Amino acid sequence: MKAVWRILGLLLAGAIALQLFFIGRMALMTVVDPQSTTFQRSEAWRIATTRGSFRWRQEWVPYQRISDHLKRAVIASEDGSFTSHEGVDWEALEKAWERNAQAEARAARQQARGAARQHFAPAAPARPPKVVGGSTISQQLAKNLLLSGERTLLRKGEEFLLTLALEQMLSKERILEIYLNSVEWGEGVFGAEAASRHYYRKSAAQLTAYEAARLAVMLPRPKYFEKLPNSGYLASRASTIVARMRAAELP
């Protein structure tokens, strides 16, 4: 029994030490620009091991050298209440849970109908429901900076705690600056400057409103849209984001 308690104590001590390490890293980010994130390093490793090459395009630029169009577009597309919430948008999260539940219910009904038709024809495999997130910019940054890509309740809980700590330690402007300099915009393409030069051959400071909106729309699925530059959805959604950008409040 003593051995069990010893193991549990060591696990608890390890968990506390890990959280303190995370807190220390976030505190350091108030004055030091992070050179990479956990997500970036995992992506670089994936590309190197699957493609046999190393691809990493990123160039840090200060907040003032990123177009306000891009800042407004990302807020309008990803987190409309960024400047007013404290890290977690509970209303958006509740709506996301409802949409996910509805998607799962539709998938279950499709599967049931397919099973009923099995007597007459082979049933097609049910398409998995599209999971809609409710993550804020702060949550996305906390996850990409420090956490793995696991989708578990434990990791989600850790993400919430780190997000609240991030909001306490860093200003909204600093959070947005780090996010725009580290978020993925294609395979091996990270940050606003690398994305602007990759897609438009210009700096992030020179982006037009429509160019910024297209980049913002890519964020949930950057590698997918990188391969579909003429996507109708991308163009249509970008026009919608342009219309919303005036209402987006900058920190």
What would the pLDDT profile of 138-170 be if each residue is shown by its tens digit? 999 999 988 766 666 666 777 888 899 999 999
Greater model confidence, 148 or 208: 208
Least confident of 104-113, 120-129, 144-153, 171-180: 120-129
Task: Check whether 122 has a pLDDT greater than 70.
Answer: no
Task: Check whether 54 has a pLDDT greater than 70.
Answer: yes
Least confident of 47-61, 92-106, 150-164, 180-194: 92-106
Task: Check whether 130 has a pLDDT greater than 50.
Answer: no
The answer to whether the beta carbons of residues 182 and 171 sit under 8 Å apart is no
Q: Domain 2-89+134-247 in CATH: superfamily?
A: Biosynthetic peptidoglycan transglycosylase-like (1.10.3810.10)
Least confident of 99-103, 156-160, 181-185: 99-103
Task: Check whether 77 has a pLDDT greater than 90.
Answer: yes
Least confident of 13-27, 64-78, 108-122: 108-122
pLDDT at position 129 is 45
The pair of structure tokens assigned to 233 is 């959805």
> Range(s) for CATH 1.10.3810.10 in the chain?
2-89+134-247
User: Chain-centre distance of CA 163, in angstroms?
Assistant: 13
